[in-house]
Amino acid sequence: MARQSTSKPSARGPAIRTAEHAQPQDKTAPQRAEKGQQNPPAIAFPSDATQMAIASGNTNSDGASETEMPPDCTPCAPRPIGVPPTPLAQFQRFLAPQPTSKAQPSPTGGLVGQDTADRALHAAQARLTGGISPISIASAAFNWTLQLANAPGRQLGLAHQALENGLRLSNYSYRRLMQMPAAAPFAPRSGDRRFNDPAWQALPFDIIAQSHFALEDWWRSATTNIRGLRPHHSDQVSFLAQQMLDFVAPCNFPWSNPRILRAAMSSGGRSLALGARNLVEDISRRINREPSPALAAFKVGEQVATSKGDVVFRNDLIELIQYAPTTKKVHPEPILIIPAWIMKFYILDLSPENSLVNFLVSRGHTVFMVSWKNPSTDDRNLSLDDYRRLGVMAALDTVSRIVPEQRIHATGYCLGGTILAIAAAAMARSGDRRLASLNLLAAQTDFADAGAMMRFIDDSQLAFLEDLMWDQGYLDTRQMAGALDTLDTSNGRAARMAERYWMGTQEHWTDLRAWVEDRTRMPYRMHAEYLSSLFLENRLSAGRFAVEGRPVALGDIDAPIFAVGTEKDQLAPWYSVYKINLLAHTDITFLLTNRGHNTGIVAAEDAGRHYRINTKSPDDSYIDAQSWLSANAPQAGSWWKPWQEWLADHSGDMVLPPKQGATEKGLPPLDPAPGHYVLMP
């Protein structure tokens, strides 16, 4: 098990042992944990030494350094350069995540120095572009231009559509100006609420809005269904065109937005002055890197993350919180929650009335929560497997020691659900049956349809992002914020900016909005492996994701699964989350709730909430996502209630609550919740 520390966390990260130190899987981890011994790491990814050997050309034909042992293999004599790789080595190369770019040796020597200069340049460029690769964007635009230039029939069709749209708009404008009845020829795209105000139906603003809708209609035709254009490039070009149109939308400018003009006239121009003040304050805050006002309004441990409990375990990557019971008796099986490390854990423990932790504890569940360390430059070499070992498995081992002889309801949210599914598959492969259930909240296990993020994931983009992380050791919170803001729709970011800077309105901060501002960082090695192995290569669903040198299969999991998707999720689309029904062969309950990735999961209140739910047994035939949607009618209320009832049905009779920690086993309570890691800037 990972090292237990009773001192406060140090500034430095863990000493990472690379693949050349990896050992075969040890099935005696629980017995070692009882004795306070540490689990040996077993990382299946290429070591830094291997990568340097590749860069310098000092490798054998297998891509490994001449003196390095293959991961998870017994010692063997070095293989001479030029000898064909063994079948075992070929298979390990097939399983190992492939670097997105390799420096190839030149006739005059290695390219280590030149490669470093290139990566430094790319890192500097990435700081200016928010981490978005201009080469990737230019490649998509160039491909679209060439394909369209070579399609005269499509060009003729677009010219005809432009003429037709112009005539329809002219006819509508004439009839409106003549005060004759006229039906609007164009409509805003689905879900666009920017033009809902009745003032947009009055002259001249209705004509202005219709002009914008006509332009959107033409560009939508120009950037979709281009014969010969790669779907990825088509998606990128369509997205960029829509971003451009959203930027120039009439609702963003005071002279063409009736709401802004109305507010300015009614306030005597004061709204414009207040908006200018808001703009200056926001620019000053960004330049000085001051925290958001939301963080002052909702302080961790005071207004949010207030559930009572104790930190009962700490290593160099996680703190494990055990929440105090609020009922006389509890279900014997504890719940272990693994949140995503891209977020602070307290999205699941917001204000008391909005806290999933409080909801579960008040209904007789013993809840444990992982709180991830916010990594720094010193943690650049943390790997994806370290998050499994030092995170998921260390937490499971600790829970098993505090609540012995009880199976665990393991629950993962977003990336936490993905790494939990990987860990569960590895546990099932080795015969570890400690899981009472596997609960995946907006968590993907197949990344073929991974949502809006796929617009930015290709080899060029990944190499560009890797160079940025290589330079600074992590992906910065502001850089992640830029990428996520780019995914935001026009109804969100642009509308908020127009109201704040043109109408002078103040932000209405909520606990969830404050949490959004409290971002984290992603270590270089882990994030590169995550994007390449899962997003780009989709290794987990293909049976090619290796844990401790051997591939894992989600089909090995025999614990019942409860999976939750959200209807408006852009980061983990519900139809992608639904694919767990294809990959696992156990009882699977799938629940679909309304709203988005975060607002759908945080669902304390019943008002405005609905969900659909159905259970599939291993003997049932698979049905596709759209058929499932049609076959299951929505039910009113929060999804928390049916999930809690499902957990209770898969738990034993109520018993007395366990003690906080296990002092006699070397696990005394260290600090009160929410701990120290969540407070790291």
Give the pLDDT confidence of 556-606 residue by residue, as tens digits.
999 999 999 999 998 999 999 999 999 999 999 999 999 999 999 999 888
Report the Cα 471 to chain-centroid distance in Å: 22
Question: CA-to-CA distance for 528 and 463, rounded, in angstroms?
Answer: 9
Tracing tokens 């293959």 back to the chain, one arrives at 70
Annotate 581-619 with DSSP letters as a single string: HHH--S-EEEEEESS-TTTTT-----TT-EEEEEEE-TT
**For the chain, how big is the Rg over CA atoms in Å?**
27
Tell me the whole-structure pTM to 2 decimals: 0.81
Report H helices in 302-383. Answer: 356-361
Q: Is residue 401 within 8 Å of 662, Cβ to Cβ? A: yes
Interaxial angle between packed helices 112-129 and 459-472, expressed in degrees from 0 to 180 and rounded to the nearest 10:
100
Would you name the residues annotated as active-site residues?
A: 414
Q: Using one digit for the tens of pLDDT, what is the confidence trace for 359-407?
A: 999 999 999 999 999 999 999 999 999 999 999 999 999 999 999 999 9
The residue among 419 and 40 whose pLDDT is bigger is: 419
CA pseudo-torsion sign 624, 627, 633, 638? positive
The residue among 177 and 43 whose pLDDT is bigger is: 177
- Intervals of CATH 3.40.50.1820 along the chain: 309-448+545-679
Q: Which residues of 488-504 are buried (b: 16+ CB within 10 A; e: fewer)?
A: ebbeeebbeebbbbbbb
Q: Is residue 19 within 8 Å of 71, Cβ to Cβ? A: yes
DSSP state of 20: G
Of 115-119, 474-478, 503-507, least confident by mean pLDDT is: 474-478
Annotate 257-288 with DSSP letters as a single string: -HHHHHHHHHTTTHHHHHHHHHHHHHHHHHHT
Of 75-89, 349-363, 529-543, 606-620, least confident by mean pLDDT is: 75-89
- Rounded to whole angstroms, the maximal C-alpha distance in the chain is 91
Banded pLDDT at 549 (limits 50, 70, 90): very high
Per-residue pLDDT at 480: 67
Q: Is residue 308 within 8 Å of 660, Cβ to Cβ? A: no
Q: Which residues of 559-587 are buried (b: 16+ CB within 10 A; e: fewer)?
A: bbbbbbbbbebebbbbbbbbbbbebbbbb
The CATH-assigned architecture of domain 309-448+545-679 is: 3-Layer(aba) Sandwich (3.40)
The residue among 496 and 72 whose pLDDT is bigger is: 496
Question: CA-to-CA distance for 443 and 313, rounded, in angstroms?
Answer: 25
**Total Cβ atoms within 10 A of residue 369:** 31
Identify residue 311 by its one-letter amino acid code. V
Tracing tokens 């971002």 back to the chain, one arrives at 519
Whether the pLDDT of residue 103 is over 50: the answer is no
The residue among 54 and 566 whose pLDDT is bigger is: 566
The first and second tokens of residue 675, run together, are: 């701990």
Per-residue pLDDT at 99: 45
